[in-house]
A = this chain, B = another copy of it.
Amino acid sequence: MADNPIPFSRRADDFVTRVEQALGQHLGEPGQHPSRLHEALHYAVFNGGKRLRPLLVYATGEALSIPPDRLDAPACAVELIHCYSLVHDDLPAMDDDDLRRGRPTLHLAYDEALAILAGDALQALAFEILGSDPTLDQPPSARAGVIAELASACGVDGMAGGQALDLAYEGRQPDIDELETMYRQKTGALIRAAVLMPCSLNTEPDEMTCRELATFADCIGLAFQIRDDVLDVEGETATIGKTQGADQARNKATWPSLIGVEASNRRVDELADRARACLEHIDHDTAALAWLATRMVNREF
């Protein structure tokens, strides 16, 4: 595939539309039976999110010359997992958040039971899509690779494990290394999966490139989360769309609370530099990934 002459920045909205259309098709009409659960799934998924993880899937696909129609299933699946994790993280027993992107969280808009079930059903739907999408038949190892990558990012060594650490650290202060481990699992694992799933689709596996992509993903995943901490301290509720200072209010350890805002910002910059260096080692068109990395790390939303 020739390098696309139109920069990714001007095509990103098209990819967002693309994945949202695909998500809509997978979710079906909101009026279906049982209607409250269907409505809740729509509420959870069509939430004004930036779709950064699907964009990472498509941008990695550009670097690996994988056409978008082979990336729709992984893009949908990773976003569904992300949406389910937000719903469960917001639950009263977890972070007990009232606002998510400026709207009531799902358990307030519906109820707690439906929020638990909606999250459960979204996780199942992600794997149903990956289990049934015919574009994953080739190469023969593609489906296994994609599913194993995503599932392990969700599990006890990934997102769920990271969230368990997060809760454990409300009782005692973690040190900076423990916080980093937690971030790598809680948000980093899914960002890594978004980048590594397209690697599993490659008909000509290129281990060196995939190793660089994995490091790239790890760096931007961690930077993204540290930036989120800084925004929680600095931002205003209206801008970030959730309750500002929520971490402080819960007396939660964050990057700024452990090493300060300035040092946190420096760490973000270092990680962004390392991420960019990884892309320079890759002998493909990584312009889309570079643009997305900048957007994720310098984000002001």
Spell out A's residues near B (CB within 8 Å).
32-34, 36-38, 41, 84, 88, 91, 93-94, 111-114, 116-121, 123-125, 127-128, 130-132, 136-137, 140, 143-152, 154-156, 158-161, 163-165, 167-168
Q: A91-B116, A120-B119, A127-B127 are in contact. Are A37 and B147 (CB under 8 A)?
A: no
Q: List 19 A-B contacts (CB under 8 A).
A: A34-B156, A34-B168, A84-B120, A91-B113, A91-B116, A93-B111, A117-B163, A120-B123, A124-B151, A124-B158, A125-B151, A127-B147, A128-B148, A128-B155, A131-B143, A131-B150, A140-B140, A143-B144, A147-B147
A40 CB to nearest B CB, Å: 8
Cβ-neighbour of A37 out of B88, B146, B161 (below 8 A)? B161
The answer to whether B88 and A116 have CB atoms under 8 Å apart is yes
A220, B291: Cα distance in complex, Å: 55
Q: B143 contacts A128, CB within 8 Å?
A: no
Q: Which of A94, A118, A127, A145 has the most CB of B within 10 A?
A: A127
* Known A93-B116, A113-B93: A121·B161 in contact at CB below 8 Å: yes
B37 touches A156 (CB 8 A): yes
| Whole-angstrom CA separation of A120 from B155 in the bound complex | 7
Query: Do A93 and B112 touch across chains, with their CB atoms under 8 A apart?
Result: yes
Complex alpha-carbon distance, A33 and B118, angstroms? 28
Does more than half of chain A's interface fall in helix, strand or loop, or is it mixed?
helix
Q: Cβ of A148: which chain B residues have Cβ within 8 Å of it?
A: 128, 131-132
Q: Which one of B33, B125, B128, B155 lies within 8 Å of A124 (CB-CB)?
A: B155
Chain B, residue nearest A140 (CB): B140
Which of the listed residues A36, A113, A145 has the most CB atoms from chain B within 10 Å of its own CB? A113
Q: Indicate if the CB atoms of A128 and B144 lie closer than 8 Å.
A: no
CA distance A258 to B220 in the complex (A): 57
Question: Are A36 and B147 touching (Cβ within 8 A)?
Answer: no
Do the beta carbons of B156 and A127 come within 8 Å of each other? no
Residue numbers in B under 8 Å from A125 (CB-CB):
151, 155-156
Q: How far does the alpha carbon of A159 sit from the alpha carbon of B154 in the complex, in Å?
A: 20
What would 5 more interface pairs be, CB under 8 Å, given A120-B123, A124-B155, A127-B151? A32-B156, A34-B156, A37-B160, A125-B156, A127-B127
**10 nearest A-B pairs in the assembled complex, by CB-CB distance:** A131-B147, A128-B151, A131-B148, A93-B112, A124-B154, A121-B160, A124-B155, A37-B164, A132-B148, A127-B151
